[in-house]
Structure 1
């Protein structure tokens, strides 16, 4: 009992230190609303934080009959609920939806930092053990509600990304890319599966998610986040991390397709141009108004700055030794989504039947961050594109909001987004345990 009291007291002291440090700095959110989004975001001066800003929205999930707020002309309803921390989504050719019920693998609990992180994760609704399964959702009668909810694939290891090529379903566990035989209409896979490629999962395995998308040429693209904020754990722990890997699923051969992307969680191919795009979670502890998370083309051979630079060449002087010679090779992202909004889901609007306002562009799930004051994210937005497959100059449009209540508590946190066979938008909500359906109200 005494040991538990000492540990709890230390956690409280660390949290209090963070609060005191933050109050001493004053309100760091100085940008006007919307200044940190778009193709030309506004920047504030970098301010290194000894203790990160902590602003965790406590998880208080939805009550029966409640739902987030859809944009004008749209409606929100429950496609499926009662799920265990639903994250990534995949639509199968017959219209079935796969959802990964997953969370991070068990974290270290020996140190104070780990204990604090576990406490904060629990408060945010992310402290539940991983269900380690993929669940199939089927709406056979077309009423907008999945009447079939069944365990499709179990025994996984913190699965996240999913992709289907022909009769093979690929699943990105936190530590390996796996392949499973798939037959259209099946409601369960019992095959053990085969390993295609080991993926880096060294402790502490920060950014455990492994995004996955199949390319037009039959190759796979895996997003692997950094194992740290700015390499402070040692760059030897960052091998093949902060990258998008291009994988040949037949041979397991791979190469680094793009690098310097701190945490590329959502990946998708733009349908008109066939170009790979991604949403990226940028670095922390430079204040509430730095650094913008972003949406960008992911180009072969492209270097996007992490850890030495951000936003096309702004130097992060905390990183030592500096690498000034890489600045001229650092690509600038295409579109800022906001500071610390934590974008996770990305889906282009091809096939959507939500009206002309949402005809051409990208839907992005903003999970919301723990280290910005005031809170940012906690919504789904639409980023308009031009007809040539390039991102436009317009600001993002709110599609689904209301995940934060008037007390600042999180009723839910949006994760992934995808268009279903009926042209509606599906949104996974890990805190709420729900997959939301956003449809035209007309």
Structure 2
């Protein structure tokens, strides 16, 4: 199709999705009051520029799909192949205790009238805005253990933007955007047949892709942890609109006993435990519109009761100029994250590798799915990165692991966009490519 047909609508899309930027006076004040700083983290010293050191830029990718025979790229000693395809935005995966793979198919559905038009006319080349969401969970089963599923069933449908999934006891749990549901479940069943119950309501709606609600059981199975992203970029609609958001919540398996486990986490999606330590870790998608290099997304251990800055500060006590002097008490107590993951990378997926199939270097480390930037003049993210751990703690910065998603940056073309990462019982790694409509499997040779 002629590219010129899309030029005006796509320009409009950038204006629609981006929030209003600061004035020149606000930029000058922010730069004067916030000198460049260096923050020491668990793995490295991070040099942070001044806010608005560069203009806030919109650069959206154009998803062109995977040509026949082309795959993402993995390091020497690994292979990657398509595990399953023909999905509608496969965003997250969960492996049941009996080894079935459940894939949540869901995506952003716009509520703004102008964005609805953009989605309905399929004018968003990044595939972030779609007119409808599949709202289903698909089951994949590999009965002959050849690394490819030979059973595929619709496990559960008619959901509300599902993401997190969990089997705990005799129940299957799903994190819809507006609440947590549970259904009677027996190991091995290929579809849910029993009636579900909503055990917890959650705040829905909001900015960008923050509709996702991930679920994670505690190490002893006595608690469930729920990630709830913010409803805005930096509370521009009022902090009163952010109740129970930008948090990791904790509940009992029946939905009772809700409490805020940690707060000030703008959009924590991926969560996992480091085995043997009792430490919860999360990958956090940070804020936009402060310039190309702000603010770094991050991987961090999650301290119970801790505050991580959003919306008042970022990466510790760096006060956001848009929330200046509002809560100095909270800025003072903001925790510095452990590992920076680059600005605007949309770091969403997380898997702490417990297996032994990968070389020793990777054992115990963290794999992070980076969905890719839109608020940066050059692409960042669009890959899966790895952070090495030693004795349950990071001992190095991130490095590339699965790449090759960018086809032609000059033309803004990408083949797909990785999101969730999930470890399989055989030690291989699944990578969910929601824009490319595929699930990839990475194995050690």
Q: Same fold (TM over 0.5)?
A: yes
Aligned counterpart, 1:418: 422
Match of 1:45 among 42, 50, 64: 50
Alignment of 1:65-214 (within 5 A): 65-110=69-114, 122-128=124-130, 129-202=132-205, 207-214=210-217
Match of 1:391 among 373, 380, 394: 394
- CA distance in structure 1 between the partners assigned to 2:357 and 2:123 by the alignment: 36
Aligned counterpart, 1:344: 348
- CA distance in structure 2 between the partners assigned to 1:264 and 1:251 by the alignment: 20
Deviation at 1:52, TM superposition (A): 3.9
Match of 1:432 among 427, 433, 436: 436
Aligned counterpart, 1:404: 406
Give the direction of change, closer, same or farther, for the CA distance of 1:121–1:306 in structure 2 (3 Å limit). Answer: farther
Give the direction of change, closer, same or farther, for the CA distance of 1:114–1:152 in structure 2 (3 Å limit). Answer: closer
- CA distance in structure 1 between the partners assigned to 2:104 and 2:159 by the alignment: 10
- CA distance in structure 1 between the partners assigned to 2:49 and 2:337 by the alignment: 18
Aligned counterpart, 1:252: 256
* SS of structure 1 residue aligned to 2:241: helix
Give the direction of change, closer, same or farther, for the CA distance of 1:269–1:366 in structure 2 (3 Å limit). Answer: same
Matched, 1:237 2:241: yes
Q: Give the unaligned 5+ runs of structure 1.
A: 1-7, 26-30
Matched, 1:272 2:276: yes
Matched, 1:361 2:365: yes
Aligned residues, how many? Answer: 417
Give the direction of change, closer, same or farther, for the CA distance of 1:313–1:292 in structure 2 (3 Å limit). Answer: same
Preserved CA contact (<8 Å) 1:288 1:371: yes
1:349-395, CA deviations, whole angstroms, 9 ceiling, x for partnerless residues? 101412122112111111111111210001111110112x1111x22
Preserved CA contact (<8 Å) 2:421 2:430: yes
Normalised to the residue count of structure 1, the TM-score between the two structures is 0.88
- CA distance in structure 2 between the partners assigned to 1:115 and 1:10 by the alignment: 10
Alignment of 1:213-224 (within 5 A): 213-217=216-220, 218-224=222-228
- CA distance in structure 2 between the partners assigned to 1:135 and 1:153 by the alignment: 7
1:101-140, CA deviations, whole angstroms, 9 ceiling, x for partnerless residues? 1112442215xx7767988982101233210000011111
Deviation at 1:166, TM superposition (A): 1.7
Q: Which moved more, 1:192-201 or 1:97-106?
A: 97-106
Give the direction of change, closer, same or farther, for the CA distance of 1:245–1:436 in structure 2 (3 Å limit). Answer: same
Preserved CA contact (<8 Å) 1:37 1:336: no
1:213-263, CA deviations, whole angstroms, 9 ceiling, x for partnerless residues? 111232111110111111001111100000010011224330111100000
Give the direction of change, closer, same or farther, for the CA distance of 1:13–1:239 in structure 2 (3 Å limit). Answer: closer
Matched, 1:286 2:304: no
- CA distance in structure 1 between the partners assigned to 2:339 and 2:345 by the alignment: 13
* SS of structure 1 residue aligned to 2:81: strand
Deviation at 1:10, TM superposition (A): 8.2
Q: Which moved more, 1:400-409 or 1:260-269?
A: 400-409
Preserved CA contact (<8 Å) 1:223 1:244: yes
Give the direction of change, closer, same or farther, for the CA distance of 1:205–1:181 in structure 2 (3 Å limit). Answer: farther
- CA distance in structure 2 between the partners assigned to 1:120 and 1:346 by the alignment: 30
- CA distance in structure 1 between the partners assigned to 2:362 and 2:11 by the alignment: 46
* SS of structure 1 residue aligned to 2:407: coil
Normalised to the residue count of structure 2, the TM-score between the two structures is 0.87
Query: What RMSD, in angstroms, separates the aligned Cα atoms of the two structures?
Result: 2.7
* SS of structure 2 residue aligned to 1:123: coil
* SS of structure 2 residue aligned to 1:236: helix
Aligned counterpart, 2:3: none
Deviation at 1:192, TM superposition (A): 2.7
Give the direction of change, closer, same or farther, for the CA distance of 1:48–1:199 in structure 2 (3 Å limit). Answer: farther
Matched, 1:327 2:369: no
Give the direction of change, closer, same or farther, for the CA distance of 1:118–1:269 in structure 2 (3 Å limit). Answer: farther
* SS of structure 1 residue aligned to 2:321: coil
Give the direction of change, closer, same or farther, for the CA distance of 1:395–1:196 in structure 2 (3 Å limit). Answer: same
Preserved CA contact (<8 Å) 1:363 1:382: yes
Give the direction of change, closer, same or farther, for the CA distance of 1:422–1:10 in structure 2 (3 Å limit). Answer: closer
Aligned counterpart, 1:377: 381
Deviation at 1:58, TM superposition (A): 0.2
Give the direction of change, closer, same or farther, for the CA distance of 1:378–1:289 in structure 2 (3 Å limit). Answer: same
Aligned counterpart, 1:5: none
